[in-house]
Structure 1
Amino acid sequence: MATVQMRPLLQDSHNYEIVTMQPGVHSQQQWMSVPRAPASCPPGLEYLAMIDQLLCQQKVSLAEVFIGWESNNKYVVLNSVGQQIFYAFEDTDACSRMCCGNQREFTIHIVNNFNQEVMKIYRPFKCFAGCCWCATLDSCAHETFVEAPVGVPIGSVRQLSSGCTFDYAIKDAVGETQLIIDGPCMMCRCCADVEFPIFTKDKRTRVGCVTKQYSGLLKEMYSDADNFGITFPLDLDVKIKATLMGAMFLIDFMAFENSDKKGCLSLL
């Protein structure tokens, strides 16, 4: 496969480069070739039209492992045969990460293999959000909003009111619910994969799943870097597939971004 020359495209408000190449991706990483774009597909999401599952691997931060310093999350997104299709990185300030923990407002930029931003996922900060009992109120329900291309809303994810589970509505660009994630009771997880089944909006038919994959005892103890998988119908609208990625990141922050993991040195 021909090597793609990376070019820095994204810059932040301080005018220094955020991305010059996908960090943590070595030269032998295989990239999925760009498929033909179907009609009405947002530019850059052609990859999603050709797959029915994807894998998301969060990169381990050594600063978090050894000293407990919370850094911006970084993820490699792969297809089922291990070819890279996206690279995703969080963009938040240090104060928010250290003071607000997993409740923090965040923006996740998603770039393709040519280092072009094709999608943005945003979660606003809400002081009283997170309680599954009170999620019927706007001020108490976590949400993420998905844009592709940047500036064009294509969907959103909203936390639903429930007893002790993590449930979410997957909505289209006009706010109509298309799918429901019926999450498990998080107290039931123990050294195993954790599944968040995806159902039709009437909850009668299971059509996919968001799965947090068990990473092994040491990684689970000392790092909050997680691996996820998402399965969905091949013919599902690519915009809804992209919105399911927004749900995956929201689940990661709400359920698995553990601020109590302070690093190895804290145990000495």
Structure 2
Amino acid sequence: MTCPNVDTEYPGLAYLCPLDEIIVTQARDALHDIIGDRARISYTIFNNRGQKIFIAVRIKGCRKFTIKVYNIYGNEVIEVRRPFALCVNRVLVWAPPGNFVGSVKQLCNKYAVTNDSGVKVLNIRIQRPLKLIYNIRYVCGVEPIGVIKQHWDLPQVGGVKNFGVSFPVQLNVQDKAVLLGACFLIGCLKY
């Protein structure tokens, strides 16, 4: 996918501006070799048309980890960190690296999405446990605005674990980056 010509404060996140869905696959790509990924866990991130928008690598720790997300030019655009904590399941998201944009934290059977100021902006709650479908809602909303779910219909990467997140196109790009972090926390790492 070519980078859209969008006026945004964070040019590395311009790829997210026109999107309403992101699909994360645990699959290695030739681009992973260019950025020096060797023994790490690799992800390739697509839009809903099957066009590659990002690649990511997970640097594994015992209970903590860091996921670095790169654009197709090899520039790091998002960093997702899970700090070490025995009882807390959460990730912190920087986009671009060095600029904290928000976090996702598990609270019993739901997840709270907060912005850079710590204000809760979205809730994520499981809708269908056996189908791995999670609804995303605004804090004060009743109707879902998106979902995090397992994907089976991405022909480019058949046979691998795919998770996707959908959201409104008009959602701000920082919140889209945090929802990508939620997709890593809930989908790719939990199941």
**Separation in 2, partners of 1:77, 1:241:** 13
Dislocated runs of 4+, deviation >3 Å: none
What's the CA shift for 1:202?
Answer: 2.2
Q: Deviations over 1:191-240 (max 9, x none)?
A: xx42111011024121000012359xxxxxxx9x5201111000000000
C-alpha separation in 2, matches of 1:110 and 1:39: 18
Offset at residue 124 of structure 1 (A): 0.8
Aligned length: 176
Q: Which runs of 5+ in 2 are unaligned?
A: 29-38, 154-158
TM-score scaled to structure 1, two decimals? 0.61
TM alignment of 1:78-157, pairs within 5 A = 78-93=46-61, 96=62, 104-127=63-86, 129=87, 141-157=88-104
Q: Deviations over 1:111-145 (max 9, x none)?
A: 00001111100001112x2xxxxxxxxxxx21111
Aligned pairs for 1:93-242 (under 5 A) are: 93=61, 96=62, 104-127=63-86, 129=87, 141-161=88-108, 165=109, 167-184=110-127, 186=129, 189=130, 193-213=131-151, 226-242=161-177
Greater strand proportion: 2
2:4 aligned with 1:35, yes or no?
yes
Q: Which ranges in structure 1 are unaligned for 5 or more consecutive residues? A: 1-31, 61-70, 97-103, 130-140, 216-222, 257-268
State the AA in 2 paired with 1:201.
V
CA distance in 1, matches of 2:150, 2:44: 15
Amino acid at match of 1:54: I
Q: State TM-score, norm by structure 2.
A: 0.85
CA contact (8 A) 1:195 1:210 kept: yes
Residue number in structure 2 paired with 1:75: 43
Partners of 1:168 and 1:72 in 2: how far apart?
Answer: 27
CA radius of gyration, larger in: 1
Within 2, Cα distance between the matches of 1:194 and 1:203?
A: 22
Structure 1 CA distance, aligned partners of 2:173 and 2:101?
Answer: 10
TM-aligned CA distance change 1:185 to 1:54, over 3 Å:
closer
How large is the Cα RMSD of the aligned pairs?
2.0
- Aligned mates of 1:107, 1:151 — CA distance in 2: 14
